[in-house]
Structure 1
Amino acid sequence: MTFQPLDEIIRSPAFPTAIWQLEPHQSGLLPVAAGRGGPLNISWEVHGDGPVKLVLIGGIGLTKTDWQSQTLYFGHERGRRYSVLVFDNRGAGASGKPLLRYSTSEMARDLLELLDHLGWTAPRQVHVSGGSLGGMIAQELAVLAPDRIASLNLHSTAARLENAAGSSLAEVADRLGALLPRPAEAAIRATARGCFPEAWLAAADGEELPRRGTPRCAVAAAGGYGGGDGAGELRFGSNYARFAAREAQIPRDRGGLALQAVAGAFHCKTPAQLRALADRVGRARIAVLHGAADRMIPVAHGRRLAALLRPAAAVFEDGLGHAPIHQRPRWFNEFLEARCEAAEKLSGR
């Protein structure tokens, strides 16, 4: 496909509105990992103040802002029901970026310290959703604290990176290492090609925007969006243009990205470990979701993961790439909401 030049996208009237100003209910910097290569700060936000606790774990280079469609849906539009935690993993965003070898288990320990700090410590209290590297971290969190997990939702991820669909381990790891490297035009285009089907990138901007009056949403309150009500709604020319506008405004630390890529490349959960994890968390609480069009982590990885976990829900979606949180946010959010609500009804809480 032919990509619209980034300088044209930046000049668009819609460009300043690509990042939504969603005011958190709580936020902070938490020192973690003392004695584990730290201390280092983890930057975090909680949106919403509802009783259902949801934590979103991002992939390589992702920051709190990347989850804005989920933060809006759960923490603002449904903030009386949900409290949603978004945070920057070590190596990303406003969190610390220590120069040492990262591992998914150490990153899960960072998150566990954050959950302890928030007091999200009760049995079966935390609903966990992780994608790509975040799904690997979620697996490690489930090993560390299985009894605290109300639901475990893994998307676009793997138990380990291995040969699948004609891709060698080195090729898959290289794709992960290239994911979202920095807000430069060539990198944005490469990331777009890797994460999304071309037909979706070329299609008209279909983002579901914040509505006027959305709680704690400054952009919506200022009238920057109409959210479908015909009052000042701003659109890009394509889904790619919206994605590029967002990427151009989110800083990515290249060194931190490389260290996170190492963690993803060396992540490994054996069949025995996954079976034990599923036994302790409970298969009725687990879901696996993978796009059949995922070029970063081919769908065979998701199928292997599901075969070992035997989760309550295993969805392999045609036409879906590596980033369902951007490509099909409403569909993804409703899927995650259904999994959370089903788990809330289970006994043993």
Structure 2
Amino acid sequence: MISSVPPLDFSTSIEPTFSFLEKVEEPVPSSTRLLPASIFNSETCTSKGYHQIDAKSGEHEIYYELHGSGPHRILLITGLNNTSFAWVKQVEHFASDPRYSVLVFDPRGAGNSSSPEGRFTTSNMAQDASSLLAHLGWVGEREIHVVGVSLGGMVALELAFQKPTHLASLTICVSSSGHVFPLQNLPPWKGIKTIAQLIWTKPLEEKIRMLVEMQYPSKWLNEIDPHSNRTNFETTVEEYHHRLNLTRPQPLRSNLSQSLAALTHHVSPSRLRLINEQVPKIVVLTGDEDSLVRIGESARLVKEGLTRAEAVVWEGTGHAIQLQRPKWFNALLERVFEEGRGSSRFVVSPLFRSPSVRFCSPS
């Protein structure tokens, strides 16, 4: 419990991305509107805009931002009913390094991207990403480092299956290969309970509290952030509030469509084995206090097909792994990218290992 944290005052009543009940109109066509405000540093942005997609699942637009201009290309894929803003700490880190270019985008039905009429699947969400990569000319062999978190990890698996020779590395975070039966894809009870409560919770500050408590361990939330001398809970709530102030509320239909994509997601062992054979460097990362994806799903990914993957569990870490542990996360990715670039051979790693000193204090 985090009852020791005093209530925070919020002066803005904007509904967040996670609003289930708000009726929201689709974005105006890109030709008649200005580009939206962004949480990212404008000085590192080299391109931003809307990519038009005319797919079998329906016509729609994907909003994207490209930061940095280095030769090593990173694609970051965000999670369920979330936007590219969830990668703020990774874009800040890698875009400031002249070695990297970082591409982020809002998935169909979230943020500034529009929503097609047809059914959402992790496969057609991966096709969106593939179309965006082609639009930007990111089509070279072994040139892209793909990182996906939660639903984004599921989409990343589908992308790796569709375009395996394009990837230099694949990092799957707090995610799953899914199951044949959708009910097996439901989150643990704490996640189900919180998601259900969010549907009927209207005040913004209460929604944010619930989201934070669901995605981060309570022990970590009560710890003091040495940089601000406040609790991690207080600083995290402020970060969420800042992000949501710049986020277009999500339509109910889009929210449900993304949720259905997660529930029906399944990458078979045979498809996992193909990814395992063709992608040079693979990492499966999870936290041991994840309330939305069971830790056993990461082990199953490795056991059922990604047998070459380096699998890592971080203690005291929840679902929002890239936000809770940004230094560990960015240091891990730097190593993965380096190994993926130079990997003409495949490296077999142990099934699981706790974070070592270099993750706690990356050099």
1:178 aligns with 2:195: yes
Q: Counterpart amino acid of 1:115? A: L
What is the match of residue 277 of structure 1? 275
Match 2:71 to one of 51, 56, 63: 51
Q: Which residue of 2 aligns with 1:141?
A: 159
Q: Which residue of 2 aligns with 1:193?
A: 213
CA distance in 2, matches of 1:205, 1:254: 35
Letter in 1 for 2:213: R
Q: Tell me, in whole angstroms, the C-alpha distance in 2 between the residues paired with 1:270 and 1:27.
A: 35
Separation (CA, whole Å) in 2 of partners of 1:63 and 1:298: 22
C-alpha displacement of 1:175: 3.0
CA drift of 1:206 comes to 5.1
Displacement after TM superposition at 1:97 (Å): 2.1
* Distance in 2 (alpha carbons) for counterparts of 1:117 and 1:301: 33
1:259 Cα deviation after fit? 1.5
CA contact (8 A) 1:173 1:265 kept: no
Is the contact between residue 154 and residue 289 of structure 1 (CA under 8 Å) also seen in structure 2? yes
Partners in 1 of 2:185 and 2:341 — Cα distance?
38
Find the aligned partners of 1:174 and 1:254 in 2 and give their Cα distance.
24
For residues 263 and 44 of structure 1, the distance between their equivalents in structure 2, rounded to whole angstroms, comes to 21
Residue in structure 1 matched with residue 61 of structure 2 by the alignment: 41
Distance 1:100 1:129, change over 3 A: same
Of 257, 260, 267, the residue aligned with 2:258 is 260
Q: Do the aligned partners of 1:9 and 1:241 also contact (CA within 8 Å) in 2?
A: no
Instruction: For residues 228-253 of structure 1, give each alpha carbon's deviation from its aligned partner in whole angstroms, at most 9, with x where no partner exists.
Output: xxxxxxx4732222222222232341
Alignment-mate amino acid for residue 29 of structure 1? Y
Normalised to the residue count of structure 1, the TM-score between the two structures is 0.80
Q: In the superposition, relative to structure 1, how do residues 278 and 194 fare at CA in structure 2: closer, same or farther (>3 Å)? A: same
Per-residue Cα deviation, 1:291-335 (whole angstroms, up to 9, x for no partner): 111111010111111222113411012111111111100100000
TM-fit CA distance, 1:183: 7.9
Label 1:30 to 1:174 Cα distance change in 2 as closer, same or farther (>3 A): farther
Q: Which runs of 5+ in 1 are unaligned?
A: 11-18, 208-234
Partner of 1:244: 237
User: Greater shift after overlay, 181-190 or 265-274?
Assistant: 181-190
2:85 corresponding residue in structure 1: 65
Q: CA deviation at 1:162?
A: 8.6
CA–CA distance in structure 1, aligned partners of residues 282 and 213 of structure 2:
30
**Aligned with 1:338 (options 322, 335, 338):** 335
Return the letter of the residue paired with 1:48. G
Aligned counterparts, 1:68-217, within 5 A: 68-76=88-96, 78=97, 80-160=98-178, 169-172=185-188, 175=191, 178=195, 184-205=204-225
Q: CA RMSD in A?
A: 2.7
Whole-Å separation in 1 of the counterparts to 2:52 and 2:189: 30
CA distance in structure 2 between the partners assigned to 1:27 and 1:52 by the alignment: 18
* Structure 2 unpaired stretches of 5+: 13-38, 346-363
Amino acid at match of 1:276: L
Answer yes or no: is the 8 Å Cα contact 1:161–1:301 preserved in 2.
no
Residue 38 of structure 1, CA deviation: 2.8
CA distance in 2, matches of 1:70, 1:168: 31
Q: Taking structure 1 as reference, are residues 86 and 340 closer, same or farther at Cα in structure 2, changes over 3 Å only?
A: same
Match of 1:315 in 2: 312
For 2:292, the equivalent position in structure 1 comes to 296
TM-score normalised per structure 2:
0.77
Percent identity over the alignment?
34
Task: Output the CA distance in 1 between the equivalents of 2:336 and 2:176.
Answer: 20
Change (3 A) 1:141 1:236: farther
